[in-house]
Amino acid sequence: MNFDQVAGKDEGAFYDSLSFLDYKISDKISENIKAGKNDNENLLAQLPVWKSLLNNNFWLDYFEKQSIHGEKWIDFEEEIQAVIKRIDNAIENKILLKSIGNPIFDRCNSYLVARKYSFNIGNIIRMLLEDLSKTRRALELYLSLCINEIKIDDRLTEIANLNPTKVISFNYTNTYERVYGKRNALIEYDYLHGKADASRNLENNDIVLGIDEYYHDDRKDNDLRFVEFKKYYQRQLFNCKRLSDDWAFKIKQDAEYEKKARDFLYNDEIEYELINNSPISDERYNYEDFEKSLRKKVKIFEDNHPKHEIFIYGHSLGVTDRDILRKLILNENVNTTIYYHSRKSYADQLKNLIRVIGQNEFIVRTGGEHPNIRFIQTKTV
């Protein structure tokens, strides 16, 4: 995508032509033009920045091409992973990239030529990282100056009625915080993939946009050629707080403590009954009374140790967040509610959940009379 071709020679052509801005964003920019706004918080004041970010950007051009040939909505991270894995496979199989006529490598070469980089693996990776950094910054500006400016009137009943103590955002915007979270100032927020902030620059941008670890052998520790594209590495590199790691650890600790306490309760009761009903005792063993007493004590224990409640909304359950999701929901002391907005999204989320936790866990946790993973369709207020 060449910026000059998209923007034309005036600001009007810019907001008319940018295909990735929906009608709400176009309206917002139009309003700013009519109002004569031209400060640093105005998207139009960022035109030189946009030009440097959009011109000859491999990833933005690639995403645009994929959206033309497929659906209008695409998963950036899945597309990035597809490209990286194809290049990685070619390296693994010792294929001469430039000679195989693959569109991906032909495309890479054209961007290398524009920068006067020679064609080799090191420069391909360098170019892809440079353009990924620009894409992250373009996304940050778009979200900060456009999406965060859209007024949200409709709220989801189920989400509005929740009163969480902690919120993990897999997005880059503070939508929950500004729409639902105002009534509770004590909520802890973990912006797992960074938080969009237009006041930053290209160098200190901390938006995480990458891929899952796809190696399943020693290469994940030794072959670090593409590690800068991987989300776990970016989270650390950009100093994301990762509070959710602490929360997940606390949930696991609670589960272990509760298991030990429950086992002790059972064993203590059984041992007492065995001693009490030994041959030297005059009293007869009454199993029904024992069972009733034990159930009562277990009920009191469970009431004092309720399960953690996790609610998931607006997440596709994609495998690129597998590590985080598994840490949270694969605990015996957790009930998980997953919201969906349509039959299609429900079907997609079911498939993705199987990929994330596996078929066996899926069957056990979503079935039975008291499943600890359930799906609910949302309604607006």
Question: Residue 19 has what pLDDT?
Answer: 42
Is the pLDDT confidence value at 235 over 50?
Answer: yes
pTM above 0.75, yes or no: no
What is the token pair recorded at 354? 């199987």
Name which residue leads in pLDDT, 38 or 305: 305
Region 220-248: what's the mean pLDDT? 90
Question: Residue 99 has what pLDDT?
Answer: 53
Q: Which of 71-75, 88-92, 256-260 shows the lowest mean pLDDT across its residues?
A: 71-75
Region 217-229: what's the mean pLDDT? 93
Cα–Cα separations (whole angstroms), residue 264 to 257, 258, 260, 270, 289: 11, 10, 6, 10, 20
Burial of 235 (0-12, 13-18, 19+ CB in 10 A): buried
Q: What percent of the chain stands above pLDDT 90?
A: 31
- Which residues, in sequence order, are CB contacts of 56 under 8 Å at separation 6+? 2, 111, 114, 115
> Could you tell me if 136 and 205 are in contact, meaning their C-beta atoms sit under 8 angstroms apart?
yes
Region 71-90: what's the mean pLDDT? 84
Q: Which of 89-93, 241-245, 279-283, 375-379 shows the lowest mean pLDDT across its residues?
A: 279-283
Question: Residue 50 has what pLDDT?
Answer: 77
What DSSP string runs through 181-203?
Answer: GGG-TT-EEEETT----TTS-TT
What is the token pair recorded at 35? 């109002």
Region 88-102: what's the mean pLDDT? 70
Question: Residue 37 has what pLDDT?
Answer: 53
What number of CA atoms fall less than 13 Å from residue 337's CA on the CB side? 12
Helix (H) / strand (E) containing 225: none
Is the pLDDT confidence value at 311 over 60?
Answer: yes
Is the pLDDT confidence value at 317 over 50?
Answer: yes
Question: Residue 157 has what pLDDT?
Answer: 84
Cα gap 254→119, rounded to integer Å: 54
Question: Residue 204 has what pLDDT?
Answer: 87
Chain centre distance of CA 124? 27
Res. 40 pLDDT band, cuts 50 70 90? very low
Question: Residue 33 has what pLDDT?
Answer: 53
Res. 128 pLDDT band, cuts 50 70 90? very high
- Which residues, in sequence order, are CB contacts of 232 under 8 Å at separation 6+? 213, 323
What is the token pair recorded at 20? 């990735």
Region 223-239: what's the mean pLDDT? 92
Question: Residue 328 has what pLDDT?
Answer: 92
Question: Residue 5 has what pLDDT?
Answer: 34
Question: Residue 74 has what pLDDT?
Answer: 76
Res. 276 pLDDT band, cuts 50 70 90? low
Region 183-209: what's the mean pLDDT? 88
Cα gap 210→136, rounded to integer Å: 10
pLDDT tens-place string over residues 251-275: 888 888 777 777 776 666 655 555 5
What is the token pair recorded at 349? 């989320």
Res. 30 pLDDT band, cuts 50 70 90? low
